[in-house]
Structure 1
């Protein structure tokens, strides 16, 4: 006698109650798994893009906005700062290295960033095709940008002013694509990068309506030049304590520490995530009660059938095991479908983020915490089936058959 097949048959004999229990479990497991996945993916993206950056210097304003705009490129900049003032900071004995950033233009929604060649090294990106820029108006395109827009070596890009596709186009010389990057799983994948001189030149042309030759000497007065932000790496981790405070108190610039600001951001979101997690656990508990009631009622309705099965040679233990199997099948199926639900949720959120922020969070990896969810599902299945299984084991088949 195949007890496992009987368990599956019993589940299909009560489709409504089984479906309700299963749906509640899928919803609870799915929400928790989705929150775990999103939290892990966003944290990985944040941490991956923070490597090698101890401090960001920019215009006065919100420190979090400065970090989001300069490190993750998902917000508007706080303003521009004097290149001369930024250079003074970069020459400080506490500073190990610095990278200038200039941005404010885009091509079809993807940011054009004027920076130094060591920006590529910061994210350990490599040239897939072509070369690095040698002169003004030459650009290197990130992996996601050239894949999404089908950009190739030699293409010319006419930039738009601002960070949206609706900006005013520049009248000056178009940018020429000279390099394509390999995927690096970092923010540089979704950027178009060029030299600082390119950005200064195109804005000079836009502002003054003057032609700008590619071999221009770039002899602008350094005091008139501006950058958007500067990424700083300290010589010693201890410098992170005092140097940002000195800049904020003694200069017109703002210094923000990425690790601190992102930690604060996660704390702000943490309350909402925790609240949703509690709600999901409540749903799982309710699904457990629903499953218990389903098994208990099913057992009472099928007492005569079980008594007949006993007379056909099934043992008490086999009947108890049939109840346990029913419960475990439903909870295991609920766990598997809950994981699938969460993955579709991640794909949906990722598509929204890719459309609005050019970020992609797709991942199908199994987290350690999700193994705990499997353990929770199995435990619920065992606990819910315990009392019905004991009642079946203690069943008096002679009395049941006589009553019928």
Structure 2
């Protein structure tokens, strides 16, 4: 439940700042995963000339280009405009924003893991996976600032300007002057003045151009629908386990009542009422269920920590250890209800307790 809930929240929170992403032809889901969530490889690059032409559309409110292809220690170096940081509500924790070429600011998680100091220099590696073969030694970056944690993808990025990304690859081109005329970006992130603009431009771009337009909300909803099948199956198994647990409580209570008939009969001789005997059985079952629930909640959080460590390595994303929520409170009420029901059913024989016969047999 927690992993499903946090995954949904993470995907929606990171895709919410943008209405549309434009990139090279390919899978629209891959385009969203790569350009917005930074969890996949890009579908390709698009011409800067086409980007500039699209930005002139009067329906567009904001247009933020992004360009990437390099990494440092496995963390993506993203070339973009000053607007990008503000879209995720990120603010500086220390240092200053990047204002010149080859200046870079670190997301909170990147700074925490790499532990570089303000003013430190570093060189990028070609590609999105850490490697030491294709390092751009002649083009070092300078770390100028660290962002505060936001709980978004920006925490796992190294951000610079687009000019730095272009320049770091210029040495790979034989004709730099020719390259200046044909610069490219990886994707263009858009916001519109109204929703109709997004639908109209999306149809126009996909039909009449060599580019591809994808709507993040639509693609994320489609992804969650696929993932939801697996989560529903797991939840179904969990409900079955919960029912089996309730049955085991019931069987355990029947066994307890039978084994302690002599003790219960003695309590009756000392004046205990049937209701008091029933309360004793219920309290035992209740504490057993409560301890099991608390232990289950704790082990669930341990599972989240373990899963988070794997997700962090693979997707650069951390799950959070959250406090009990309303769903878990409802589950506790269900457990208590099942315990009460099991106690009543298991203790039915207490209403027919033959004290003299039980004591005589003992």
TM-score range for the pair, normalised by the shorter chain length: over 0.9
Q: Which residue of 2 aligns with 1:42?
A: 7
Alpha-carbon distance in 1 for matches of 2:140, 2:56? 34
Matches for 1:364-383 after TM superposition, within 5 Å: 364-383=322-341
Match of 1:190 among 130, 140, 156: 156
Quote the RMSD (CA, aligned, Å): 1.6
Name the SS of the counterpart of 1:100 in structure 2.
Answer: strand
Name the SS of the counterpart of 2:64 in structure 1.
Answer: strand
Shift of 1:205: 2.1
Matches for 1:3-402 after TM superposition, within 5 Å: 36-166=1-131, 168-208=134-174, 223-402=181-360
Name the SS of the counterpart of 2:94 in structure 1.
Answer: strand
Alpha-carbon distance in 2 for matches of 1:137, 1:114? 10
Conservation of the 8 A alpha-carbon contact between 1:171 and 1:205: no
Alpha-carbon distance in 1 for matches of 2:121, 2:24? 32
Conservation of the 8 A alpha-carbon contact between 2:125 and 2:134: yes
Residues 246-275 of structure 1: per-residue CA shift (max 9 Å, x gap): 110010000000000000001001111111
Alpha-carbon distance in 2 for matches of 1:174, 1:208? 21
Shift of 1:388: 2.1
Conservation of the 8 A alpha-carbon contact between 2:173 and 2:179: no
Residues 210-243 of structure 1: per-residue CA shift (max 9 Å, x gap): 8xxxxxxxx8766510000010000112222222
Alpha-carbon distance in 2 for matches of 1:321, 1:154? 69
Residues 8-29 of structure 1: per-residue CA shift (max 9 Å, x gap): xxxxxxxxxxxxxxxxxxxxxx
Alpha-carbon distance in 2 for matches of 1:93, 1:101? 21
Conservation of the 8 A alpha-carbon contact between 2:91 and 2:147: yes
Alpha-carbon distance in 2 for matches of 1:209, 1:366? 60
State the TM-score, normalizing by the size of structure 2. 0.96
State the TM-score, normalizing by the size of structure 1. 0.86
Alpha-carbon distance in 1 for matches of 2:63, 2:179? 21
Alpha-carbon distance in 1 for matches of 2:260, 2:94? 70
Q: Bigger relative contact order, structure 1 or 2, given CA contacts below 8 A and separation 6+?
A: 1
Alpha-carbon distance in 2 for matches of 1:183, 1:90? 31
Shift of 1:127: 1.6
Alpha-carbon distance in 2 for matches of 1:308, 1:325? 19
Alpha-carbon distance in 1 for matches of 2:35, 2:68? 9
Conservation of the 8 A alpha-carbon contact between 2:24 and 2:44: yes
Conservation of the 8 A alpha-carbon contact between 1:106 and 1:160: yes
Name the SS of the counterpart of 1:238 in structure 2.
Answer: helix
Shift of 1:143: 1.2
Conservation of the 8 A alpha-carbon contact between 1:321 and 1:389: no
